[in-house]
Structure 1
């Protein structure tokens, strides 16, 4: 977070999680997660300087934060809310309207997707009966997206195959749902790189055109993605 390139990134991924300690199977790594949300401070991973840099990134530089949670109940949202209270206390978390641009920035979606596997036996994996995305708006720009349906975990679950034994059929559900999750994530990335002041493609020239010496005929801006659907 102290790297100068931090302010050049149009989107950053942040996943606040509850207190966790443990070790990997090979025993080489043990201890607590980086983004902590229990204790006196909202996150053990933040210093005051880091929190200020995040504020600079989001408010003044036009950066975008993607933050997944496992549901929209009070318990599921608490880690994200504690982090947001630390870094953006003057802004409110609100429900993103179903007709917001983020659902049509590349693919045409009818709204947010719903995490396909809600529980495993009596263990609840995803909390809340309804689907929605929440966010923080700064000057009418969506600056922080809280993905209460955690589409990123549909994608990594499709790769990791986390279910086994009696519940291994849930892996097939993730596989089938992964393309839809990918479309929503692509929309999020496209929105992030086309809003704010970090990404500026007004003088965009493809590397292939530079290599071929066709600078005069090369496009000077990124193509309009929606026109190619």
Structure 2
């Protein structure tokens, strides 16, 4: 009976210790003392990836990668999600993966155009494809798509064309509206109908891409 009571008491003490330790970690992390939180997690025996994730979630990207270099892609994904891809250039890592990602942000096509067949990471290839679209170099997508074959990239191309069309139609409507010498109401009405159609197409594509939720 005494042995059972002793076992239960020890288990209770361990649970209490773990609870207090968890509270210490949460308090340290929430107050910006991330290194202290990481040290406490180490003492608890947490996996390196979990500790690296703490650094990632608090914006300490170099620390996350230094702790677990497999976090590089998670860091890249996070910075793209936050629309902060320029911060990639300031990361300390100079791994082969990170070097290519930095070249994409810099849009160093002198190097990248010849590396497509050597890039094995499909997400990296997709980011390169999006960079081509952003710079309206659509012709460069063809060799990339031979390796990637990503239909979403085609939707981004269509979206880019629609946005250019909408800008041009709005310009035409504005110029016609400013011209007081002739009645251009019929032309303007036709252009407005075309504009609405293009806007509907754009909305459908952006909903498909999930852009409306970003």
TM-score (normalizing by structure 2):
0.29
Going by fraction, where is helix more abundant, 1 or 2?
2
Q: Larger RCO: Structure 1 or Structure 2 (Cα < 8 Å, ≥ 6 residues apart)? A: 1
Greater Rg by CA: 2
TM-score (normalizing by structure 1):
0.28
Going by fraction, where is strand more abundant, 1 or 2?
1
